[in-house]
């Protein structure tokens, strides 16, 4: 299992630096340890090199492989307006909760790419994947959050077969979200949010197929 790389996609802001850097580095280190990769000891230095001299927000992508090689690329990033609402639809593609790789952010993205390809960008801003039991897992690039009216967000457990998203981890640690299984029926009784560390939390409108 060494024909893939680990990925971290970070947001860099002038004056703030890398957003949620500690959580990104912790996830990268944890995945490396669990998958038998070396530790990414040069990650911070390489990230700093990538943003040297930057004057505007950046999307920074770091990949790290089993041989310890790090590659970093960056591009200009435009944050979403606060009132953004994304249209979200359901994929026929399913995730396998027994596949341990879905718990790590890697370049093995065939299932997510297949799910995203089920709809055009005009039909859906994001696509939700279920597991083999019909439980909600995650989006192709986002974690799932649900507010049933209590103000506390619910997000699916890792055991359903999904990535430990950095934004998800932050919200759980801040006691703004808790872990709990979600089914499609839940989406009729509350407010859906999706999000990731790059874009933050986004209000979503679930459009049934």
Q: Encode pLDDT of 97-139 as tens digits.
A: 999 999 999 999 999 999 999 999 999 999 999 999 999 999 9
Helix, strand, or coil (residue 151): coil
Q: Where residue 187 sits, what CATH number does that domain have?
A: 3.20.10.10
Structural tokens at position 166: 């950095």
Q: What is the pLDDT of residues 63-95, one digit of tens each?
A: 999 999 999 999 999 999 999 999 999 999 999
Using 50, 70 and 90 to split pLDDT, how confident is the model at 209? confident
What does the alpha-carbon distance between residue 85 and residue 164 come to, in Å, rounded to a whole number? 23
Number of domains in the chain: 2
**Residue 73 DSSP one-character state:** E
**Mean confidence (pLDDT) of the chain:** 96
DSSP code per residue over 76-136? E--PPPTT-EEEEEEEEEEE-TT-GGGGS-BS--HHHHHHHTTS-TTT-SEEEEEETTS-E
> What is the pLDDT, as a whole number, of residue 151?
87
Domain hosting 11: range is 5-76
> What is the pLDDT, as a whole number, of residue 76?
97
What does the alpha-carbon distance between residue 152 and residue 171 come to, in Å, rounded to a whole number? 10
Q: Is the pLDDT of residue 183 over 90?
A: yes
Q: Which residues contact 138 (CB under 8 A, 6 or more apart)?
A: 95, 128, 129, 144, 156, 162, 163, 165
Q: Where residue 29 sits, what CATH number does that domain have?
A: 3.30.470.10
Q: Are 58 and 51 within 8 A, CB to CB?
A: yes
Q: Do residues 116 and 177 both lie within one domain?
A: yes
Q: Are 122 and 188 within 8 A, CB to CB?
A: no
The pTM score is 0.94
Question: Residue 162, Cα to own-chain centre: how many angstroms?
Answer: 9
Q: Do residues 70 and 114 both lie within one domain?
A: no
> What is the pLDDT, as a whole number, of residue 2?
64
> What is the pLDDT, as a whole number, of residue 92?
97
Q: Do residues 128 and 177 both lie within one domain?
A: yes
> What is the pLDDT, as a whole number, of residue 188?
83
Q: Is the pLDDT of residue 34 over 90?
A: yes
């Amino acid at each position: 299992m060494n024909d893939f790389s680990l990925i971290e996609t970070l947001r860099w802001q002038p004056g703030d630096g890398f957003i949620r850097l500690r959580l990104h580095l912790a996830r990268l280190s944890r995945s490396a340890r669990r998958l038998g990769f070396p530790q990414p000891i040069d990650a911070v230095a390489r990230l700093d090199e990538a943003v040297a001299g930057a004057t505007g927000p950046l999307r920074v992508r770091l990949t790290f492989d089993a041989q310890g090689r790090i590659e970093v690329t960056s591009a200009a990033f435009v944050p979403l307006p606060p009132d953004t609402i994304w249209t979200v639809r359901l994929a026929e593609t399913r995730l396998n909760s027994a596949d341990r790789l879905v718990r790590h952010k890697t370049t093995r993205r065939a299932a997510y790419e297949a799910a995203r390809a089920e709809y055009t960008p005009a039909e859906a801003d994001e696509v939700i994947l279920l597991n083999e039991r019909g439980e909600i897992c995650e989006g192709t690039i986002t974690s799932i959050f649900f507010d049933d009216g209590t103000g506390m967000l619910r997000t699916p457990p890792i055991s359903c077969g999904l990535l430990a998203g950095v934004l998800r981890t932050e919200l759980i640690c801040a006691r703004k979200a808790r872990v709990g299984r979600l089914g499609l029926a839940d989406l009729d009784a509350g407010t859906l949010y999706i999000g990731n560390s790059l874009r933050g939390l986004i209000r979503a409108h679930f459009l049934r197929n």
